[in-house]
Amino acid sequence: MRGPHNIIRLIRTGATLERTGAMNVVLDAFEAPAPLRFVAHALGWPFKWLGYKGDPDMPPATRALTALGPAYIKFGQVLSTRPDVVGDDLAQQLRVLQDKLPPFSKAEAMAEVEKELGVPVDQLFSEFSEPIAAASIAQVHRARLADTGQDVAVKVLRPGIEKAFKKDVDAFYFAARIVDLFAPGARRLRPMDVIEHFDGVVQGELDLRLESAAASEFAANTVNDAGFQLPPILWNLSARRVMTLGWADGAPLGDNDALDAAGHDRRALGERVLSLFLNHALRDGYFHADMHQGNLKVAPNGDIIAYDFGIMGHIDEYTRRVYAEILFGFIRRDYKRVAEVHFEAGYVPANRDVDEFARALRAVGEPIFGMDADHISMGRLLNYLFEVTERFGMETRTELILLQRTMVVVEGVARSLDPRINIWEVAHPVVEDYIKGSIGPRAIASDLFTVAKVLARFGPRLPALVEQALIAQSNPKDASDTGFTSRWKPALIGVGVGAAIAAIISQVI
């Protein structure tokens, strides 16, 4: 960690926050204690003249982050997914943070492609356009394959972006340590954890092979989803700093006039966006976590096309079942069951009163169900739910925060297509189908089969396990020599018997 560089960068950051009026906005959002506010203003106010001016038409926070450059823009975008850290108001501002930056030249992009793929660009592409979109980390060009004539999109990382991000992330870690040192009361915000999360996200986006892999996995999960398609990844033309995928032809999902002119049913599109997202989150546990209009198109045949797979969300099977039961309980207005699910999952401490919690949940659900259909919001419901569960001692679950944030975005997309969409009517069949498949008799049989397969792996080791168990029983000294003690005998015999039964079950099933 380079101290002088970090100090200079933090002074410039503080000066920019002061100059743009964002300092107090950020400190208030983090509920920063007095010592941290003192240090922040001390780093900013005396050097205000060193700060970047930014675009005065932007809100203070987005103005400051945009002026500070790519790493800060990306940091703001990542924080927009964490209202548990920055608060709802600032998260809302950061969601509209734009990272449209001046593009680098076509010649530089072609040089990067040639360097990464090891072949002259004119041998790969018969056409290679000027940049059509430029963001904080990469930019996109439209090209045509020389051998097949297929139109493709070529995403290229900015030259030197890895080094630039490393310098700024280094400064972010330095700032987090200052927070820990000067403001112990702010440790509840877990500044080091926040920076580590950001660092992980950025490292994933700085290797386009990982984004290609995410797109490939997403495509495999959704291959049978009607009315949905993804541009295919061209692995032979992709590398760490270059990603090539099929060109997505279609109308932007945010352009209602274009959709109407093409004859698309906007209400049907809105309902499909919602149901697709819920299916991906519940059925697959792997969802596009940046499903705003800028990353969605509508093909001429009416299919929804998604692209840009830099931010993906993952939820494990158990959490998906809990989440589905919670949603289904709210849909049926069965607040007692929703409360019980929270206790069964261990989300709420067992020493709390389940009936009291159920009443608190009723206070969350009933006002929302009393709204008109065009005001009902599942994202708002989840937001209120997190507020209540926090009061009852539930710890923050990052994966659910990302899910809730994405749900808000998807609802916004759906409502921009048709403000009268009833979120619950769309969600009900998706959640109900998942409940039937994951919690009913079929799910129990599937779980037993999975357990049997896992236990069956001990099958080939059964003779040795049984022999060692017998040795442990007849000669404790030999057992200790081989790593066994008498206290493990019952468990070992149980594993052996269980493995034998599992092996038989797995063969029968």
| Rounded distance between C-alpha atoms, residue 19 and residue 68, angstroms | 12
| Residue 181 CA neighbour count, 13 Å, CB half | 8
β-strand partners of 232: none
| Rounded distance between C-alpha atoms, residue 149 and residue 242, angstroms | 19
| Rounded distance between C-alpha atoms, residue 158 and residue 139, angstroms | 7
Q: How many CB atoms lie within 10 A of CB 40?
A: 26
- Please choose, from the candidates 201, 241, 255, the residue with its C-alpha nearest in 3D space to the C-alpha of residue 398: 201
For the chain, give me the number of helices (H) and strands (E)?
A: 24, 10
Structure tokens at 407: 């749900």
Structure tokens at 494: 């149980």
What are the Cα distances from residue 175, in Å, to 85, 179, 203, 342?
16, 6, 19, 36
Cα 385 from chain centroid (whole Å):
19
| Rounded distance between C-alpha atoms, residue 43 and residue 361, angstroms | 44
User: Is 23 within 8 Å of 14 (Cβ atoms)?
Assistant: yes
- Please choose, from the candidates 187, 295, 266, 273, the residue with its C-alpha nearest in 3D space to the C-alpha of residue 228: 273
Q: Which of 84, 168, 290, 308 is catalytic?
A: 290
Residue type at 507?
A: Q
First vs last Cα of the chain: how many Å apart?
57
Phi-psi region of 79 (alpha: psi -120 to 50; beta: other; left: phi over 0): alpha
Locate all alpha helices (DSSP H) within 345-440, ordered by sequence.
Answer: 354-369, 378-391, 398-417, 423-439
User: Is 46 within 8 Å of 36 (Cβ atoms)?
Assistant: no
Cα 361 from chain centroid (whole Å):
26
| Residue 235 CA neighbour count, 13 Å, CB half | 5
**372 is annotated as an active-site residue:** no
| Rounded distance between C-alpha atoms, residue 96 and residue 137, angstroms | 17
DSSP 159: T
Radius of gyration for the alpha carbons in the chain, expressed in angstroms and rounded: 27
Using DSSP, state whether 157 is helix, strand or coil: strand
Q: Which residues are catalytic?
A: 290
